[in-house]
Amino acid sequence: MKIFTAGQIRSWDQFTISHEPISSVQLMERASLALANWISEHCKAHRKAVILCGNGNNGGDGFAVARMLYLKGFDVDVFVNDPKGKLSEDATVNLKRLQGISGISVGSFNQIEQYNFDDKTIIIDALFGNGLSRPLADEYKEWVGWINKKNNLKIAIDLPSGLSADGLLDGDSIVLKANYTLSFQCWKRSFLHPETGKYTGKVIILDIGLSKNYHETTETGYFATDDYLAESLFNPRNDFAHKGNYGKAVIVGGSYGKIGAAVLATKSVLKTGAGLTFTLAPQCGYDIVQTTCPEAMFLEDGDQFIKHFDIDKGATIGIGPGLGTHKETQKGLLAFLKDYQSPLVLDADALNIISREQKNLQLIPKRSIITPHPKEFERLFGKIENSFKRLELAREKAKELGIYIVLKDHHTQVVIPNGDVYYNLTGNAGLAKGGSGDILTGILTSLLAQGYSEKETCILGVWLHGKAADFAAEKHSKESMLPTDVIDELGNVFKELNRKTHRSL
């Protein structure tokens, strides 16, 4: 799914209006009906709605939704900054339609503090939506701050007021904190970063029939990895295949006290389907790896940490889980990278070793995949102010070094060498546990070994990791799920992928 800027979304509306053809007020009616239907279906315990409307088209959506919810049996009250003030043309049309219904009151914002908000009242935010390009004015800040203190269910139309579609707003901004955001047609970047996404609650994307032609022909550098994209990348197992068809994967990691990380990565390689799996680890990990991963073959180097990286060059390699940063390990890894030219997966302590000197970045083979969490990224490339700037720096570095960067986050971002970004939509806070990154390293190494391209490996691998975590959270809860639970759920994810793939043939 493509992610468009605020300007592109406005152009998408206009393109639809001129090419369908449909009038702007008719398109507003279509969008508002989708909103009202969703609210009516999912808020059956709340039969009272207070709708806060701005002067622009987001307010016009609010006026239309008020009318439709009233006809569906809701008690509806509407508040606007100045009911007699200047409104957009379409908002004016919908306000007039609303004023023809005697059962709906329309008041000004300065009356809202006297309103009786009981626990059955939904607050619907239709103040600004996609049109906001600067922080809220002082009077709106005051009202939004007051609404934020209410414990009622809050639903934002398009975007929570105070939020931009494209990122952080400059200055001292306040944002309405929604429980749900009902947006149109595509994701916005601000939904997908921690600084801004915390205001949206659960995001629901409603299809309002905007032009498919515009979507297909308009270029963007940002995409959302949804289930449909992941399914299109998945290659089902060939019934006549043998283990040699699915590659040789080697996990290089583990040190005294950290063998578990290598075990998690190895199990993930196996569960993701590599043909042959090896673990290169120190002798202290032999019994552990052979006992917990009998399907994998053990390659030994060193007693308590790895010194040499003597690996079959025909294998696909993932380096880092539990590796440690002993001086001899550092020396061995850097010597290996100087002579190794094929793409590989680098994570955890492998990245920490590389980050010791900036010149080491040039040792990363072209088309390799690195998977830093925010602190590891900072060690590699320098301190940044926020996740939006981190992503832009990652785009620069991916182009400069010719590598794939997997920025681990709530919505992990895959950055490919041409600068395109894929935001992942699966996963949950249950992955905020040690060992989760080791699993991802194993998944990526396994997919790369099986012949997926580097781009396919990153996009599908991150999605698989998050989807398995969603299954694990459903079964165990986000609090209690373990990284091993995520590994166990990979089989169920593949079952689902196979069912959908066979059904589409």
Residue type at 87 in one-letter notation: L
Average pLDDT score over the chain:
95
For residue 262, the surrounding DSSP H or E stretch is helix 259-272
Report pLDDT for 164. Answer: 92
Q: Reduced to 3 states, what is the DSSP secondary structure of residue 293?
A: coil
> What CATH number does the domain containing 77 carry?
3.40.50.10260
Report pLDDT for 171. Answer: 65
- Residue 1 falls inside a structural domain: no
Single residue among 158, 192, 219 that ends a domain in this structure: 219
CA gap 350, 369 in Å, rounded: 12
Over residues 103-116, the pLDDT tens digits come to 999 999 888 888 98
Contacts of 501 (CB under 8 A, 6+ apart): 231, 234, 236
- Residue 187 falls inside a structural domain: yes
Report pLDDT for 503. Answer: 64
- Residue 11 falls inside a structural domain: yes
Are 451 and 392 part of one and the same domain?
yes
Single residue among 157, 184, 219 that ends a domain in this structure: 219
- Residue 226 falls inside a structural domain: no
Are 122 and 265 part of one and the same domain?
no
Are 302 and 415 part of one and the same domain?
yes
Report pLDDT for 389. Answer: 96
Which structural domain range is residue 294 located in?
A: 231-504
Are 214 and 236 part of one and the same domain?
no
Are 192 and 325 part of one and the same domain?
no
Are 168 and 251 part of one and the same domain?
no
Are 246 and 384 part of one and the same domain?
yes
Are 214 and 324 part of one and the same domain?
no
Are 129 and 20 part of one and the same domain?
yes
Are 406 and 448 part of one and the same domain?
yes
CB–CB of 60/94 below 8 Å? yes
User: Pairing between strand 421-424 and 413-415?
Assistant: antiparallel
What backbone phi and psi angles, to 5 degrees, belong to 159?
A: -150, 145
The pTM (predicted TM-score) of the whole model is 0.96
- Residue 224 falls inside a structural domain: no
Over residues 387-436, the pLDDT tens digits come to 999 999 999 999 999 999 999 999 999 999 999 999 999 999 999 999 99
Residues of the chain with pLDDT under 70: 171-172, 503-505
The single-letter DSSP state of residue 2 is B
> What CATH number does the domain containing 441 carry?
3.40.1190.20
- Residue 225 falls inside a structural domain: no
Single residue among 170, 198, 219 that ends a domain in this structure: 219
Strand-by-strand arrangement of the 202-206 sheet: 105-108, 75-80, 48-53, 121-126, 153-157, 180-184, 202-206
Output the 3-class SS for 334-372.
Answer: HHHHHHCCCCCEECHHHHHHHCCCHHHHHHCCCCCEECC
CB–CB of 60/28 below 8 Å? yes
CA-based nearest residue to 109, from 88, 125, 121: 125
Are 471 and 497 part of one and the same domain?
yes
Q: How far is CA 261 from CA 141, 254, 271, 349, 412, in A?
A: 48, 6, 15, 11, 21
Tokens 């196996």: give the residue. 270
- Residue 106 falls inside a structural domain: yes
Number of structural domains (the chain) is 2
CB–CB of 242/295 below 8 Å? no
Over residues 154-177, the pLDDT tens digits come to 999 999 999 999 988 776 679 999
Are 205 and 81 part of one and the same domain?
yes
User: Pairing between strand 345-346 and 105-108?
Assistant: unpaired
